[in-house]
Amino acid sequence: MALPWLLLLELLLYGGCFICGIVTAASVTLTQGSFDGKCILYGSVHLNSTSIAVVSSSSPSLCYFVSSISVCVAVFCFSLVLYWIYTSCVDREVIREKLWLNITLGMCGVFLFFLLVTGCILKIGRDRLCDSVHQAVTDITRCEEAQNKPWVNPIDGTQFYSRLHSAETAVWVNFFFWMIITVLVLIQRKKGSENRSAELDPSATPSETEPFFIRPGHPQ
């Protein structure tokens, strides 16, 4: 059976959120790996002769937190897409109960909050790192130019800025998609309430639907 177009649009957005979550988690994990397991967010560097060395870094748990949130969002979205595809193949009529719509709204609020926190961590953490890079390496005008500079082994900083920028962009796109999903769920919830209120009560008797006053001469 074909899915309702609002639910179909919602599933397409879930697919986009899944991709964004994977991009964020992969970018942060690869960056952490290239810096020998250090979380470079909010980190500082200095110029050691001709190579850039890391002076300080954040706790690895900060990068683990960003990656974990992204993976959780991706897994949730992937599971929902599979569930609704399976439901559309098995059931003749796809109906979303109000309870599950309320649960979905709650999950939207939770994910929006954590994605907002994650986006701020990536934005501020990358800016702090870039400020330190600009102070240490004075012959560059943009932070991404430090990717072309040599770094002290075993650090590989050739793509640190590009990966962190990709991770941040994916988080904000993910956040935007979840805002649209929230609106779609609210529309479906309101539409479902209107449809239920428009239905007649099957337990009502004919006498309950008759007018209180009968016009003169009206046959009883």
- Quick one: pLDDT at residue 200? 40
Distance CA 77, CA 194 (A): 28
Q: What is the pLDDT of residue 55?
A: 92
- Whether residue 167 contacts residue 122, with contact meaning beta carbons closer than 8 Å, is answered with yes
Please give the pLDDT value at position 206. Answer: 45
Phi, psi of 163 (to 5 degrees): -70, -45
Q: How many CB atoms lie within 10 A of CB 143?
A: 20
Cα separation of 93 and 144, whole Å?
A: 53
pLDDT of residue 95: 73
Segment 131-179, tens digit of pLDDT: 999 999 888 889 999 999 999 988 998 899 999 999 999 999 999 999 9
Domain ranges of the chain: 5-188
Neighbours of 214 (CB within 10 A): 10
Q: Which residues of the chain have pLDDT under 70?
A: 1-2, 91-94, 192-220
Helix (H, G, I), strand (E, B) or coil at 37: coil
Pairwise CA distance, residues 44 & 152, whole Å: 14
